[in-house]
C-alpha cells in the first residue's frame, strides 16, 4: 500500500492511543502490513513478540 487515506491513518492513530491506558501495553506500528502481520512478515512479527515476552518475563522474575 503506497498511500494511506488520511482518515484511515487518523483512525489507526486513535486506536493505538486507546491502548496506551492498558498497563504494560506496547504499541508497534507495522507500516505496509495489514490485518495479518504474522503471515505478511512473520520474522518481523516474531521479533516484536519475542522482545515483548522477554521483557515481561524478566519483570515477572
Per-residue CA distances from 11 to 5, 22, 23, 28, 58 (Å): 10, 18, 22, 15, 33
Which domain range does residue 40 map to? 6-60
Q: What percent of the chain has pLDDT over 70?
A: 74
Q: Which residues does 20 contact at the CB level (< 8 Å), separation at least 6?
A: 27
In a domain, 26, yes or no: yes
In a domain, 35, yes or no: yes
In a domain, 16, yes or no: yes
In a domain, 1, yes or no: no
In a domain, 25, yes or no: yes
Contact 29, 16 (CB under 8 A): yes
In a domain, 55, yes or no: yes
pTM of the predicted protein model: 0.63
* pLDDT per position as a tens digit, 39-52: 999 999 999 999 98
Contact 50, 18 (CB under 8 A): no
In a domain, 38, yes or no: yes
- Structural domains of the chain, count: 1
Amino acid at each position: 500500500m503506497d498511500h494511506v487515506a488520511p482518515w484511515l491513518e487518523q483512525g489507526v492513530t486513535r486506536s493505538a492511543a486507546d491502548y496506551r491506558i492498558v498497563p504494560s501495553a506496547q504499541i508497534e506500528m507495522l507500516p505496509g502490513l495489514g490485518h495479518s502481520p504474522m503471515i505478511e512478515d512473520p520474522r518481523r512479527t516474531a521479533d516484536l513478540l519475542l522482545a515483548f515476552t522477554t521483557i515481561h518475563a524478566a519483570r515477572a522474575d
